[in-house]
Amino acid sequence: MHTLSVYIREARAQIVSTWRTPQFIIPSVALPLLFYGMMGLGLSKGREEIAHMMLANYVIFASIAPAMFGFGAAVAAEREAKLIELKQIAPLPAGGYLAGRLIAALVLVGVAIGLLGALAWLGGVRMVPWRWAATLGLGLASAIPFALIGLNVGLRFGSQGATAVANLLFLSLCLFGGLWVPLSIMPKWAGDIAEVTPSYHLGQLSQMLSGMQPMADVPHHLSILAAISIAAMIGAWSAWRRQAA
């Protein structure tokens, strides 16, 4: 009971703190909504299937920024300020700090994705309920691999470097994952890069779940995602251990 309440308090503090940081809220929540409103709905007026396809990509896009910045830039800044050190000494249950951050990132992603879904519905996108749940749910779950990648950045770079690296990764993951521009109209080498990005595989799964693509190669996508997540987890674990040494 006590442990659970610590996780919740920690998450609440992280959410409040994030909410008061506009440089975080704007790219995390406002940007996906603005882009989707303009490009997904504005430009594709009357062609709901484009708005539908873009929604599938944008739920992944919307989860990258909160995870990447919440775990990358913010962890680096708190580490530099020795705030994490103080929390490691304080009687937080193991992983309390990281669990709090993860819950906070998921809440933010949840808000961003929920608003995206509402916007899409208003724009005329229609799906059967399970496809809605699966598409938005996948977007939410995709925060986890991105958070793990962000954590590597946050634990391995200083706060200035981490912000730069997180931005670079954020843009590359969106671009080479084919979330903004279809890979079919990009050069072939971009497609090769896409193969190693989690955003591409998540985007493909999202297209399938939302009914825009037939189910195909699911084990392939899942196994690459699992490999990337496990590698990121091992990397983050060793970096966390090293700074606790």
Residues that bind other proteins (CB under 8 A): 2, 5-6, 9-10, 13, 16-17, 20-21, 78, 80-83, 85-86, 88-94, 96, 244-245
Which ranges of 74-217 does DSSP label H, i.e. alpha helix?
A: 74-80, 83-89, 96-122, 129-141, 143-156, 159-176, 188-194, 198-209
Quick one: 211 exposed, middle or buried, by C-beta within 10 A (0-12, 13-18, 19+)?
A: middle
Cα 83 to chain centroid, rounded: 24
What is the DSSP secondary structure assignment for residue 43, as one 8-state letter? T
d(CA 151, CA 145): 10
Please choose, from the candidates 195, 183, 193, 245, the residue with its C-alpha nearest in 3D space to the C-alpha of residue 225: 195
Q: Which two tokens stand for residue 68?
A: 């990447």
Amino acid code (one letter) for 174: C
Radius of gyration of the CA atoms of the chain, in A? 18
